[in-house]
């Protein structure tokens, strides 16, 4: 048995401002099939940490979920934009902070069954406040939260945003930080 699926044809079904939807005819194990794929330009997620080990978070209303979510600062890449430049731009726009030090923390795939989005993770430190520059139509509040509080909120289910939960837990595990 092979796990590789060969694309036979691909047809665009929808092109929006942010995403594109395509319908692919495939062959897997000599059998025809199809896949629906949402194409997304990708994004970044930033774990910005202060000298006293607080993490910058944003509370933002998410229309698709119809609720305000607590998230790490994040944003969409522009076409061909370097992910680090996206992270630097988004951190400043959303929180008003810039960082002197940046560490690449890899990538996550938010929903690989149907979405090709790649989220690049960055840790930002040595922060300085320079002023927030939100995009038109963007409304959010910025908070500084102790990492242990974020971990408790992840475990309790209060933090529902997957990129935030994965990144905070990965950072905590790699740095020996526990809830207790």
Q: Where are the domains of the chain?
A: 6-39, 43-174
Q: What are the pLDDT digits (tens) for 34-59?
A: 999 999 999 999 999 999 989 999 99
Domain 43-174 has CATH 3.90.79.10: yes
Mean pLDDT in the chain?
95
- Assess whether pLDDT exceeds 70 at residue 19: yes
Grouping H, G, I as helix, E, B as strand and the rest as coil, residue 59 is strand
HSE-up of residue 78 (Cα within 13 Å, Cβ side): 9
pLDDT at 2: 65
Number of neighbours of residue 151 by Cβ within 10 angstroms: 20
Is the per-residue pLDDT at 123 higher than 70? yes
């Amino acid at each position: 048995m092979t796990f590789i699926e060969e694309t036979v044809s691909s047809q665009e079904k929808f092109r929006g401002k942010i995403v594109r939807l395509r319908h692919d005819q495939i062959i897997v194990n000599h059998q025809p099939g199809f896949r629906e794929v949402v194409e997304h330009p990708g994004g970044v997620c930033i774990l910005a940490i202060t000298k006293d080990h607080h993490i910058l978070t944003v509370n933002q209303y998410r229309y698709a979920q119809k609720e305000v979510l607590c998230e790490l600062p994040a944003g969409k890449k522009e076409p061909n934009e370097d992910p680090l430049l996206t992270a630097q731009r988004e951190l400043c726009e959303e929180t008003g902070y810039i960082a002197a030090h940046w560490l690449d923390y890899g990538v996550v795939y938010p929903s690989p069954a149907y979405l090709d989005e790649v989220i690049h993770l960055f840790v930002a430190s040595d922060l300085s406040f320079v002023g927030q520059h939100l995009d038109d139509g963007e409304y959010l509040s910025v908070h500084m939260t102790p990492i242990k509080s974020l971990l408790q909120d992840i475990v309790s289910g209060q933090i529902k945003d997957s990129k935030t939960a994965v990144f905070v837990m990965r950072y905590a595990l790699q740095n020996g930080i526990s809830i207790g």
